[in-house]
Amino acid sequence: MIRRLSIVGLGLLGGSVAKAAREASLAREIVAVGRRRETLELALRDGVVDRITTEVDAGVRGCDFCLLATPVATLESLLPAVWQAAPREAVLTDVGSTKGRIVKTAERLAGSGPLRFVGGHPMAGSELSGYAVARADLFRGALVILTPTERSDGEAVARVRAFWEALGGRVITLDAAAHDRAVAAVSHLPHLVADALMDAVLHLDPAFLDVAARGFRDTTRIAASSPAVWREIFQENRAALVEAVAAFRKSLDHLEGLIDAGEGAAVERELDRIRQARERLG
């Protein structure tokens, strides 16, 4: 049982955590911190949170568990203020989709003391954003990646793991750098490809979109996500994303070369190899 859970940022992920924590009775009190008073008041009227504030210090003071759920570019700048306001024994974690910089910032803030911050990333979300689309079941069955370091406090890691498991998540741990390379490949690259695919059709002829069927719509669904959010993610993880784009370009060039050369049998072999790998993914 968490005595006071403070959630900084009440968008899709922060709002879903609040709803799930309330539904599972994980905290005696839930405090929401955000910039938009109207969103906070909606959550208060819903009974999802017990107290709201637009001031980080007031929202974090006295908590024993704090979740940072703001956009990734904001996380790093907010962490010092959260660190200063939170009690020394409080556990801090986040939901950011990149981990390298935020973990380094936490280690710097901890100095020589134990690291009570545990980086976290639930692999769950939507092309939609905001508290209005938050759901209590968002994390059920979802993979949640934690990125503790050698300096991480063992009790803090255990509490963050237990928290996500109580919300229905399947928890694994990765090194922060390995996490950033992995999500660049399986999350950030697909988003960039969806954007590029939409743009390619627009360049060919926008009228082609009139005949777009379900396959195209499903493939490009995530291109409807918030440009501001994804611009921040691309910037925060640009080194790993550039590496992933290079690998994608190599694969695309290879397939293009086979098609251009009329190598039908080779194209089929490559597609079958890829199909088998995709089937193993489930």
User: Tokens 């979109």 correspond to what residue?
Assistant: 209
Task: Answer whether residue 127 shows pLDDT above 80.
Answer: no
Q: Could you tell me the two tokens for 13?
A: 């992920």
CB atoms within 10 A of CB 259: 13
Q: Tell me the per-residue pLDDT of 48-104, one tens digit each, with 9 for 90 and over.
A: 999 999 999 999 999 999 999 998 888 889 999 999 999 999 999 999 999 999 999
Q: Tell me the per-residue pLDDT of 162-199, one tens digit each, with 9 for 90 and over.
A: 999 999 999 999 999 999 999 999 999 999 999 999 99
Task: Answer whether residue 32 shows pLDDT above 80.
Answer: yes
In order, the DSSP letters of 10-31 are -SHHHHHHHHHHHHTT-EEEEE
User: Distances in Å between the alpha carbon of 223 and those of 184, 193, 217?
Assistant: 16, 9, 10
Amino acid at 199: D
Q: Tell me the per-residue pLDDT of 128-165, one tens digit each, with 9 for 90 and over.
A: 789 999 999 999 999 999 999 999 999 999 999 999 99
Q: Could you tell me the two tokens for 44?
A: 């208060």
Q: For residue 138, give the nearest of 183, 74, 95, 187 by alpha carbon.
A: 95
Q: Tell me the per-residue pLDDT of 88-116, one tens digit each, with 9 for 90 and over.
A: 999 999 999 999 999 999 999 998 788 89
Identify the structural domains of the chain with CATH numbers, from first to last: 2-174 (3.40.50.720), 179-281 (1.10.3660.10)
Q: In what order do the strands lie in the sheet with 91-94?
A: 51-53, 27-33, 2-8, 65-68, 91-94, 117-122, 143-147, 170-173
Residue 155 phi, psi dihedral angles, 5° rounding: -65, -40
